[in-house]
Chain A
Amino acid sequence: MTGGKIAFASGMLLALAGGWLAFPRVLYRTHPQPVDFSHKIHAEKAGAKCEDCHAFRDDGTYAGIPTLDKCSGCHAAAMGTTAEEKNFIDRYVTPNREPQWLSYARQPENVYFSHIAHVKLGKVKCEQCHGNEGGAATLRPFAQDPISGYSRDIWGRPVNRIALRTEGGMKMDDCVDCHRRQGLEYSCLGCHK
């Protein structure tokens, strides 16, 4: 009889360990960014603010990650001595090839999100949703859920979906939390398209 209990318990333990420890690790597929860009250096040395590179277009739409010509403006030739910069210039600037940046914050196609409404009308700071990305010295790897295809930043972090405190973020729950607090939650199509 005890044999049976042991078998049951060991099966359970194994599953628990697999589900809690191994699963979150294998769930996400990580990809390195094409260039190890340092937001920190650009903020400190070049004194760049977020909107200097992550700009709005004239029509109010948000341009997202800057294209290569923005980078080439300064980095036509090496400004520093780092290998990463040299690499960037050799591989992208000189051949005029767009780096394939992987966007942490890319929302699903069915999401309508207006940066300008949040920044200009809502006075929301970039950090409130994106975290302190602007102060990071290095680009963390891009983690993607291979089943849904969504970035880890916008879907399912932490994996157990238990958050001890409500934090800024870019998951639907985060959006809904904030909108609900401000009484700005009306309908699905308010934020979906």
Chain B
Amino acid sequence: MTTTRRNLLKFVGGGAAGALLTPAPWRLITDSALWSENWPGIPRPAHGGITARFTHCTLCPAGCAVRARCVAGQPVSLTGVKPHAVSHGALCPWGIAGHHLPYHPARVRQGPVKEATAAVAQAIAQRGTGEHVAVLDLRPGRTVSWTHRRAMAAINGGLYLTPRQPGYSIDLAAAKTVISFGAPLFDGWGTPGNVIAARSIFRLIQIEPVETRTAAMADLWLPIQPGSEFMLAAALAGNMTLAEAALITGVGEQALAAVQEAAESGQAVVLAADPASPLMSLNEKYGALGRTVVARSDAPMPEAWKQAAPEMSMAAAPDGAIRVLLIDESLPGGYIPWRRIAPKLAPDAVVVVFTSSNDGYARHAQFVLPAAVYPETAEDIGPAIDTVAAVFRIAAPLIAPVVPAVDPARFVERLAGLPASEPLRERAGAIHKAGRGTLLDYTAAKSTPVKDVTADNFWKTLSQGGCWMDDSAKRTAPENLVFPAAGEPPRDERPLTVVVAEPRRGGLESPLMSKLERESNLRLAANRVALSPDGARASGIENGDRAVLETAFGRLNVVVAIDPSVPAGVVEVAGGPRMADLCGGNGRARVVRA
């Protein structure tokens, strides 16, 4: 037999025919289809025993009780704890995905700890007379806040700065009518479960220019001309006729009369988006002070802690005199625009921020040190605006820290030369000693009076995500409640009023928030603004266009959504540090096509 081309072809043909009669090709076809189930990049969830662990959410002052479903110890999903006296088993979308934060790709993972320590020490040593060391605590009222305050008291010229605090609590259950001037009741104002549980009791009148989630849930929504809230308040206070107010606010006279009637029919409370707003003074008229607006109560604390620096607002701090500013941004809180802070700094000031996010003060500080995030550390949560009885609840860590984080309290303690302490434990001891209130043990699903619990068990239960709650005391009116008078807004020729329709605290949020912000349009993403069809047309902007939001303080690149529910002359934005730096509350802005 000779090897010809033809024979070679026949050989190959025979081979092909033969191969088809073997399992090989068929098996390869099926195997490759199975390979598509397992091709690289598809992660395999870890398996293991399933347990429930408990903690409290630290993402906002609400501090909702959290039940974590853990697989082999690792939390894989979070739910509320029901039944719960305050949080009622509810969690907000941020809280539901809180266990993703340690793995956030944008997290601050490392920082110049040594350099920052040296620079701070040097600045303290070299500071001139009248120059201060200050801590800015974005979430005052926590136990570590007291550490900060004690440390600042120990340092000569130490200041303890905080954002403006309400200084009162709201007992929603005591209200029959809630007149809300843009307070985002259903979107971050208080404890979600508490607001929802109280919702069936009160009638909600929401006064704000755009239909936010809260306005959509209100019994009555009054779409008001942006910026004219004080006129409406003046009319309610009787300082202006309803007809005049109707003309200015754009709210019909009848609607105003209805609000007035509801407000005066008893048990009304006025709430405002800014808890320190002058609008809150209407509560005096409606007799809400001491009934709905009540004094805040704090959990007992060790006597020794009272040696602490007083809370000071940023405005009260002396100009150009802060040589060292330590910003505790480990938990997101009320962001103070940088333009209010910058004038307070000395020319060669050292600014250190403890944070997990690059979005806040990290943009302004010299030293950015990584802070731990929820649920990595044990800490307590300051009081929420709508909890009346004092509470002490600990966010028990659910996972080991993913990055080497710096504890701001330890840093400040060391700076002040205070001995290292276990403040949470000390405070738990003080609470136990006071002997009041009840201990909620989520693991055992029971509550026990504190006096029936040993100190050790009390601490053990708390440190596993338990909660202490004070007995309901007699409501008293808040003391020293002073609301500043309404100031004149600065003149600004820009055509649009900025309305923050999407409250946002800043800080990290789960990457899965893309479901709400990009994969659907349920929430306004940080880089998006909404314009009315008319407003967009005036600027020559189409839906989805890139544009620049321009205010007196700067510019921001945004994507525009056109939304007929936005009134003309308004640009809806999402809150957050960048927006706060750009315009603060209700500024004026212009949107220009990019």
Which A residues have a C-beta under 8 Å from some C-beta of B? 2-16, 18-20, 23-24, 27, 57-59, 61, 63, 108-110, 145, 147-150, 155-156, 159-161
Contact = CB atoms under 8 A, between A and B. Distances in A.
Nearest to B13: A8
A7 B27 contact: no
Interface in B12-50: 12-19, 21-25, 27-28, 30-32, 34-35, 37-38, 44-45, 49-50
Interface string B35-72: 10110000011000111000000000000000000000
Given A3-B1, A108-B38, A147-B34, A8 B24 contact: no
Given A4-B10, A11-B12, A159 B18 contact: no
B480 interface: no
B6 interface: yes
B8 interface: yes
Given A4-B7, A11-B10, A11-B18, A147 B23 contact: no
Contact of B23 (A6, A148, A161): A161
Given A20-B23, A109-B44, A148-B38, A15 B31 contact: no
B11 interface: yes
Contacts of A18: 19, 22, 24
A129 to B, nearest CB: 19
A148 B13 contact: no
Nearest to A64: B47
Closest 4 A-B residue pairs measured CB to CB? A19-B22, A11-B14, A15-B18, A148-B34
19 contacts: A6-B1, A7-B8, A7-B14, A8-B10, A9-B14, A12-B14, A12-B15, A12-B17, A14-B18, A16-B19, A18-B22, A23-B23, A57-B50, A58-B49, A109-B45, A145-B31, A147-B28, A150-B38, A160-B23
B7 A7 contact: yes
Interface of B: 1-2, 4, 6-8, 10-19, 21-25, 27-28, 30-32, 34-35, 37-38, 44-45, 49-51
Q: Which of B7, B18, B30 has the most CB of A within 10 A?
A: B18
B23 A7 contact: no
A63 B15 CA distance: 49
B302 to A, nearest CB: 40
Contact of B27 (A11, A108, A159): A159
A16 B49 contact: no
B18 A13 contact: yes
A73 B13 CA distance: 63
A60 B51 CA distance: 12
Prevailing SS type, chain B contact patch? helix
A108 B37 contact: yes
B14 A8 contact: yes
A2 B6 CA distance: 12
Nearest to A110: B37
B14 A10 contact: yes
Nearest to B22: A19
Given A7-B10, A147-B34, A19 B24 contact: yes
A150 B4 CA distance: 44
A189 to B, nearest CB: 16
B28 A7 contact: no
Contacts of B27: 23, 27, 156, 159
Contacts of B1: 2-3, 6-7
Nearest to A15: B18
Contacts of B15: 11-12, 14-15
A59 B13 CA distance: 59
Nearest to A60: B50
B28 A15 contact: no
A19 B18 contact: yes
Given A7-B1, A145-B34, 17 more contacts: A2-B1, A3-B1, A6-B1, A8-B13, A11-B14, A11-B18, A12-B14, A14-B18, A18-B24, A19-B18, A23-B23, A23-B27, A59-B51, A63-B49, A147-B32, A149-B35, A155-B34
A151 to B, nearest CB: 12
Nearest to A162: B23
A149 B38 contact: yes
B74 to A, nearest CB: 15
Nearest to A58: B49
A44 B84 CA distance: 54
B38 A11 contact: no
Contacts of A145: 31, 34
A15 B2 CA distance: 21
Contacts of B19: 15-16, 18-19
Contact of A11 (B6, B11, B30, B51): B11
Given A4-B10, A11-B10, A23 B24 contact: yes
A192 B51 CA distance: 23
Contacts of B16: 11, 15
B33 to A, nearest CB: 8
Contacts of B7: 3-4, 7
A12 B19 CA distance: 7
